Amino acid sequence: MAFLWCCRSLLCSVTLFSVFVCLVAVAEGKHFKGFHVVHDEHTEHGGAFEEQWFTQKLDHFNGADSREWKQRYFVNESFYRAGGPVFVMIGGEGPANPAWMQSGTWLTYAEKVGALCLMLEHRFYGKSHPTVDLSTDNLRFLSSRQALADLAHFRTNMADTRGLTNSRWVAFGGSYPGSLAAWFRLKYPHLVHASVATSAPVHATVNFPEYLEVVWRSLASEDTQCPLLVKKASDTLVERLKDPKTYENITKDFNLCSKLQIQTEADSAYFLETLAGSFMDVVQYNEDNRGFEGVKGTNITIQVLCAVMADTSLGEPYARYAAVSRLMMDTFSMKCLDASFTSYLRDMTNTSWEGPAAGGGRQWVYQTCTEFGFYQSTDSPNQPFTGFPLVYHVKQCADFFNVSSEELAEAVAQTNEYYGGYSIRSSRIVFPNGSIDPWHALGITLDISTDLPAVFIKGTAHCANMYPARSEDLPQLVMARDHVFLVLQQWLKQ
Among the listed residues 175, 325, 377, 426, the single catalytic one is 175
3-class secondary structure, 405? helix
Cβ count near 440 (within 10 Å): 25
3-state class (DSSP) for residue 308: helix
The β-bridge partners of 430 are 196
Provide Rg for the chain, Cα atoms.
Answer: 22
How many secondary structure helices (H) and strands (E) does the chain include? 16, 10
DSSP state of 432: E
Q: Let me know the angle formed at the C-alpha of 453 by 448 and 459, rounded to the nearest 5 degrees.
A: 110
Tell me the residue ranges of DSSP E strands in 238-325: none
Let me know: does 370 contact 403? Beta carbons within 8 Å.
yes
Q: Name 152's Cβ contacts closer than 8 Å, sequence gap at least 6.
A: 184, 188, 191
Told to judge if 483 belongs to the known catalytic residues of this protein, a careful annotator would answer: no
Residue 221 falls in the annotated catalytic set: no
Residues composing the chain: 494
Catalytic annotation, pick one of 267, 281, 437, 473: 437
Asked whether the beta carbons of 180 and 147 are under 8 A apart, the reply is yes
End-to-end Cα, the chain, rounded Å: 51
Catalytically annotated residue among 122, 129, 393, 462 = 462
175 in active site: yes
Q: How many CB atoms lie within 10 A of CB 468?
A: 14
Count of alpha carbons within 13 Å of 473, Cβ hemisphere only?
Answer: 19
Comparing CA positions, the residue from 367, 215, 357 lying closest to residue 280 is 215
Query: CA 168, CA 445: separation in Å to the nearest integer?
Result: 26
H-helix segments, 28-89: 41-44
451 C-beta neighbours (distance < 10 Å), count: 16
The closest alpha carbon to 223, from 304, 155, 123, belongs to 304
Report how far residue 20's alpha carbon sits from residue 212's, in angstroms, rounded to the nearest whole number.
19
Bridge pairing between strands 116-120 and 169-174? unpaired
Other CB atoms within 10 Å distance of the CB of residue 261: 16
Catalytic residues: 175, 437, 462
